């Protein structure tokens, strides 16, 4: 999976990271806007990339609304 984090903000009060990522997976282009619970601010670009990678991996494990695998 090849992706780029387009935007990300961390809400300290809610301990949530809001992100938008776009990229390619299995030859298909995707854009995902979501949020993930983080106990502390990722801080660096590398840590942000890893947090979003874990969130996207979890996201693509779930079945699509049609019931088919992504």
For the segment 13-59, what is each residue's pLDDT rounded down to a tens digit? 999 999 999 999 888 899 999 999 999 999 999 999 999 999 999 98
Give me the pLDDT at residue 60, please.
86
Token pair recorded at residue 62: 């779930």
Q: Where are the domains of the chain?
A: 2-61
**For residue 66, is pLDDT > 80?**
no
Cβ neighbors of 65 (< 8 A, separation 6 or more) are none
Yes or no: say if 34 and 59 are a contact pair by the CB < 8 Å rule: yes
Exposed e or buried b for every residue in 12-34, given b needs 16+ CB within 10 A? eeeeebebebebeeeeeebebee
**For residue 68, is pLDDT > 80?**
no
Identify which has the larger pLDDT, 22 or 63: 22
């Amino acid at each position: 999976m090849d992706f780029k984090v387009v935007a990300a903000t961390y809400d300290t009060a809610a301990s949530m990271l809001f992100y938008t990522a776009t990229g390619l997976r299995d030859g298909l282009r995707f854009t995902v806007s979501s949020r993930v619970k983080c106990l502390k601010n990722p801080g660096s670009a590398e840590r942000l990339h890893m947090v979003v990678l874990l969130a996207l991996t979890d996201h693509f494990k779930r079945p699509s609304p049609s019931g088919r695998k992504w």
